[in-house]
Structure 1
Amino acid sequence: MKSMKTLGRSTASLLTALHDERRTIFSLDDAVRILGGTKKTVSNLLSKAQQRGVVTRLRRGTYILVPFELGSESVYAGDPWVVADRLFEDKQRYLSHGTAMAIHGMTQQPQILVTITVADRYPETIFAQGTEIRVTGLPISQFFGIGRKWFEHGYVMVSDVERTIIDCLRRPDLCGGFSEIAAGTWMVKEKVKTKKLVDYALQIKTKAVVNRTGFLMASCDLGDEEDMQRLRSALTDTYHLLDPTMPDDGRFNSRWRLRVNVSEEETRMARAKARRDLSDSLPAL
């Protein structure tokens, strides 16, 4: 038999204050700030609230309110994107890489984990009620091309389309490899602002990204000669792998100083699949 979701006076005060603040995900420190008292006392109160199915602990010190409309359900994980964002709301952060691709409609692949970039943070993996959250770090100086995006359950910070492409070219391992990037870019090519994409590629200060951006734009028929010249002027004599997740082989491309270790057939197949998935997702006329 499931326990009743009864509220004591302190728990009711906490929930009222959290709703007033439009906060469904909160920390132990938030609860202490609202209720007063010691951490131990408030932690005991939250433990009892969890037993009654009023809140769910996402991880140590972080909780989420269980919506009343769920009835007797006592465990609630919430929207994974919003949860990941709120876990780091006191820091500069944004949803990135494969997760950002999903948000922008650049992939039809199911996302089994959430990737978030946090300023000056060591990489780690967090599990919050079954959701795997992969955390990667960047210096605060490289935080640009980021904005808010609203969802039904709240807003999240996320990279824009162009920054998403650049991040994925910098870390193909966090989005499924170059073929997935090429397919995703093709899916949103009408939305890509090529001048901004080139600006970002030069601003990120990773040489391999400049090479890969030029190759990607050429393969997706993006940009004009001015865009290409800006990228080519930043090239060095060093060759880089097109996809560092793949074996170190393949032909050399002198125009973009790349070792093309991804077959054209693989990229074509990824695009074809993306085209079919996109077509299947459109409403019938």
Structure 2
Amino acid sequence: MNTMGILRRLSELGDVFTKKEAQEKLGMSTKQLNYYLEALLREGFLRRVTKGIYTLSLEPGRTSSPHEFVLGQLLVPNGAVAYWSALNYYGMTEQIPRTVFIQTPVKKDYRKLLIVDGKRFKVIVVSPEKFFGISTIRLGRREVRITDPEKTIVDCLDKPKYCGGIIEVLKALKNARLDYEKLLEYAERMKSKAVLKRLGFLSGRLGLGIEKEIRLSEGDRKSFALLDPSMPPEGRFNYRWGLRINVPDDYWEEVE
């Protein structure tokens, strides 16, 4: 098969693919595959985005940059778009994060920040028990995993620093259409009292009613978590929820 025949076969994978996918598609040896990939790179039909990932165009020199979510899926095959990136995708925040946040239960030596094809990726490794509530969306020919809206909120309650702070969670709770029963179920499934405390406090502040279903023991209330762990440990104590409200009083003005 000549290089143009190989190109047509590869185009069936879409405009971005991995070397592993190409080998499975073409059914050839690594040596043969490397030969054709290098030939197509020289002719301008392919562009190497990073090790093992290529973009393709049927017009030489016209390869495009893949969608950041698609690239994130290829970089972290066992992951899902999450936190601030998922908040933005669902329209739960007007903020546009400069970094794509990917959650994965698979421990690997990921760098703190990956920069690939001019895009920034932050990989957050969580325990397998916290990796649930995953949906699938289609972008071009690719399916991409993303946390569903309720899991996105719960993850942001768990790690507010990956969503722009607790204020972004408050905005999302106020403006988004959410299944509150599922939201509470997910919060309980996280096995984190801090998540339940933050959810209860914010729900009470917005009058959502979720707070009425949250049960905390006296011991839970005497062990104080920070409302926003991304901010300094200061501020008044809330004994109803066992929280230290470490945000200024005018913090809520733009929302309420």
Given candidates 173, 178, 186, the residue that maps to 1:185 is 173
Q: Distance in 1 between matches of 2:82 and 2:219?
A: 26
Provide runs of 4+ in structure 1 moved above 6 Å: none
* Shift in Å, 1:144: 1.8
Q: 2:237 aligns with which of 252, 256, 259?
A: 252
* Equivalent in the alignment of 1:279: none
1:246 corresponds to which letter in structure 2? M
Q: Which runs of 5+ in 2 are unaligned?
A: none
Aligned residue for 1:54? 45
Deviation at residue 257 of structure 1 after TM alignment: 0.5
Q: For each residue in 1:83-136, what CA deviation from the matched residue of structure 2 results, as whole angstroms up to 9, or x when unmatched? A: 2123334x2x21100000011101122221211111222453322211111111
For residues 139 and 76 of structure 1, the distance between their equivalents in structure 2, rounded to whole angstroms, comes to 35
CA contact (8 A) 2:129 2:190 kept: no
1:130–1:13 CA distance, 2 compared to 1 (3 A): same
1:56-205 to structure 2, matched below 5 A, reads 56-66=47-57, 68=58, 73-89=61-77, 91=78, 93-122=79-108, 123-124=110-111, 125-152=113-140, 154-188=142-176, 191-205=177-191
Q: Quick check: 2:100–2:122 contact (8 Å CA) kept in 1?
A: yes
Provide the residue aligned with 1:39 in structure 2.
30
1:230 alignment partner AA: I
Going from structure 1 to structure 2, the CA distance change for 1:192 and 1:231 (only over 3 Å counts) comes to farther
Aligned counterpart, 1:9: 2
Judging changes above 3 Å, is the alpha-carbon distance between structure 1 residues 39 and 165 closer, same or farther for their aligned structure 2 residues? same
1:205-284 to structure 2, matched below 5 A, reads 205-224=191-210, 227-232=211-216, 236=220, 237-269=222-254, 271=255
Distance in 1 (alpha carbons) for counterparts of 2:213 and 2:144: 35
Q: What do residues 42-90 of structure 1 show as CA deviations (whole Å, max 9, x unaligned)?
A: 2343233233332222210111223x4xx5644522111122123334x
Q: TM-score, normalised by structure 2?
A: 0.87
Secondary structure at 2:214 match in 1: helix
Shift in alpha-carbon separation, 1:33–1:187, aligned structure 2, 3 A:
same
Quick one: structure 1 residues 10 and 234, their matched pair in 2 at CA, closer, same or farther if it must change by over 3 Å? farther
Cα deviation, 1:153-196, whole Å, max 9, x if unaligned, reads 643211111110110111111111111221222221xx111111
Q: Is the 8 A contact 1:14 1:31 kept in 2?
A: no
- Aligned mates of 1:235, 1:132 — CA distance in 2: 41
**Aligned positions, number:** 253
Deviations along 1:1-44, one digit per CA (max 9) or x if unpaired, are xxxxxxx823533532551xx54332222222333444244234
Unaligned stretches of 5+ in structure 1?
Answer: 1-7, 273-285
CA RMSD of aligned residues (A): 2.4
Q: Deviations over 1:133-156 (max 9, x none)?
A: 111112223222111123456432
Work out the CA distance in 1 between the residues paired with 2:212 and 2:43.
Answer: 61
Bigger drift between 116-125 and 95-104 goes to 116-125
Instruction: State the TM-score, normalizing by the size of structure 1.
Output: 0.79
Instruction: Give the Cα–Cα distance (whole angstroms) in 2 for the partners of residues 215 and 181 of structure 1.
Output: 12
* 2-structure distance, mates of 1:96, 1:60: 24
